[in-house]
Structure 1
Amino acid sequence: MNEMRLIVDPPARGTWNMAVDEAILRGAADLGVPTLRFYGWSEPTLSLGYFQKYEDRRQHEASKECACVRRASGGGAIMHDRELTYSFVAPVRDSRSEETTRWFDLFHETLIQVLATWSIRAHLSGKPQADSRQEPFLCFQRRHEVDVIVDGNKVCGSAQRRHQVAVLQHGSVILQQSACAPELPGLEEITGHEISAGHLIDRWKDLLKSTFQSTYQEVPLTDKELESAQEIESVKFAHSDWTHKR
C-alpha cells in the first residue's frame, strides 16, 4: 500500500459514525486507496453486533438509557463512550484472503507497540479455552485470540465486514471507564496512565504508516461519500427496522 487516506473525525452520533464507515466501504473500489479513519462518539452509545437481539440490551442495566445502534459487523455489544474507535477500509481482490485476516494482528500488534511507549505491557489474548456457556452480552467481556489484553483486561477488540471487492475493519480502544459500563476498566484505571484520544491517534497512525510502508493524504470524504452516508444513515442505521431487526 503506497498511499492511504487519513481521516480524523470529531465525535459524532452513532448512526452517522456507522453510516460513514459503510459509505467508505461501498465506495472503496472507486476511491482506489485504503482509508484509515479515527473517530469518537458525541454521546454514550451502545452498538449491538449484527447478530445480537435488540431485546438482549435489557440485560445490561447501566446502558439502558443510552442511545443504541446496530453495527453491520458481528460480535458483542460495545459501549462507546470514553474510548477511541478506528476503522480501516481497503479495496481487495479477495475479501476472504489471508491478507485481510492478517489486519487483525497488524492493528492490534501495532497498538501493543504504541502502548509500550507509555510503558504499558499489553499482549494478544491467544486462543481462549473452550467454554460451553453463552457468550457475554458485552464484547469486552468476551475473548478472542487477537484481542489486546492489559493486566487480564481486554482493552481493544475489532470486527470485519466484507464486501466482494472491499473490506471494512473497525475496532475500539477503551481509554477510561464509562459510567454506562462500570464493569469495564479502561487503560487509565488499569495502568494509571491518562492517555487522550489525540495522543493515541498521533502515535498509532505514525506506526501504522510505517508498518503499511505508506504515505498519508489527509483529505475528507468526497461529495459522493457524504451523499451516500446521508442516505445510508436515513434508510438504515437511523431506522428502527434496522436497529430492531433481531
Structure 2
Amino acid sequence: MSTDEAISLAVASGDSLPTLRFYGWQRPTLSLGYFQHIADAERYLSGIDGGNGVEVVRRSTGGGAILHHCELTYSLSLPLADAGPGPREVVYQSVHRSVQEVLADVGVPSRPYREWAGSSSVMVSPAVVTQSAVASAGLKSHSKPDEPFLCFRRRTDEDLICSGYKVLGSAQRRVRGGVLQHGSLLLGVSPYAAVLPGINELSAGSLVAESLAGQIAGHVGQSLGYDWRGGELTAAELASSNQIAVERYAAAEWTRRR
C-alpha cells in the first residue's frame, strides 16, 4: 500500500515515469476499504478457520474488503493534467477492457457488470442473484447501505463478471496532478474467502499470475499509449514508501482508525 502511494505521488509530481505495478502478498492479507470498520474485519476473520493468521491493512481507497491470497494485485500511477471524473473513467475502463481482452485470449470469457446485468439470457446461481441481479442496471454504482463486507460480493458497472461471479474489481484515488488506480484479479478460491471462486475454478484453467501480468501490461500499454519497460523503485520512491508505511499502513492507529 505504501509503495503504491509513493509511486503515485512521484508520478503525479513529474519525478517518476507513469508506472504499472504487479505484485503478490507474502501472507494472506485482508485489505479494508478506507471507510470500513475494523470491528467488521475482526468479526469476519473470527468466523474462519485459521483467520487469526490473516494480516489486516487499510487501503487509501474506498470499497469493500479484499482477501489478497490467490489473486494478482496491480496498481497504475498516471499523471493527469485533468484528473476529473471523465479522464479517470477512461483510465478505469481502459484497464478493465484490457484485462477482459487478455482473459478472452486465454479462453476465459468475461463481461463488465453493466453488460451482464442487462442480459436476459444469462444463467446465474441463486447466491449471485441474491447479491446483485436485483440491482438496477442503469445505475452507475450498485452499492447499498447494507452492502456485503467483501469487495468481490459487491457490483459496480465496470467490474468484470465471469460465469456470474466478479473476478476483477478496482478503485481509484485522485492525487494532485495524477491518479492512482489499483485492483485485484481473482485467480483462485482462498480458504479464507471460500464463497469466491476465481477464474481458474470458473474456467477449469490453470492461469498463473506472472504470465497474465505480462499480457495485461501489453494490452494496457497499447490502450493508453505507453511502452512499458521493466524497472525498480527509485531511491526517492523507496524512501517515501518507507516513511509512508511508518506513518500510515504499518501503524495500528491507521488500521484501527474506524
Q: TM-score, normalising length from structure 2?
A: 0.85
Give the corresponding residue for 2:126.
Answer: none
Aligned pairs (5 A) from 1:96-135? 96-126=84-114, 128-129=135-136, 134-135=146-147
SS at match of 2:41: helix
Which sits farther off after the overlay, 236-245 or 204-213? 204-213
Aligned pairs (5 A) from 1:1-246? 18-28=1-11, 29-31=13-15, 33-60=17-44, 61-62=47-48, 63-126=51-114, 128-129=135-136, 134-246=146-258
Q: Work out whether residues 36 and 86 of structure 1, in 8 Å CA contact, stay in contact via their aligned partners in 2.
A: yes
Query: 2:162, 2:144 → 1: CA distance?
Result: 25
1:149 to 1:103, Cα distance in 2 relative to 1, 3 A: same
The structural deviation recorded for 1:102 is 1.5
SS at match of 2:30: strand
Give the corresponding residue for 1:15.
Answer: none
Query: 2:162, 2:60 → 1: CA distance?
Result: 27
Give the corresponding residue for 1:8.
Answer: none
SS at match of 2:14: helix
Query: Structure 1 runs of 4+ off > 3 angstroms?
Result: 130-133
Q: Work out whether residues 94 and 164 of structure 1, in 8 Å CA contact, stay in contact via their aligned partners in 2.
A: no
Query: 1:147, 1:97 → 2: CA distance?
Result: 17
- The Cα RMSD (Å) is 1.5
SS at match of 1:36: strand
Match for 2:7: what amino acid? I
Q: Percent identity?
A: 38
Q: Structure 2: which 5+ runs fail to align? A: 118-134, 137-141
Which sits farther off after the overlay, 130-139 or 88-97? 130-139
Give the corresponding residue for 1:5.
Answer: none
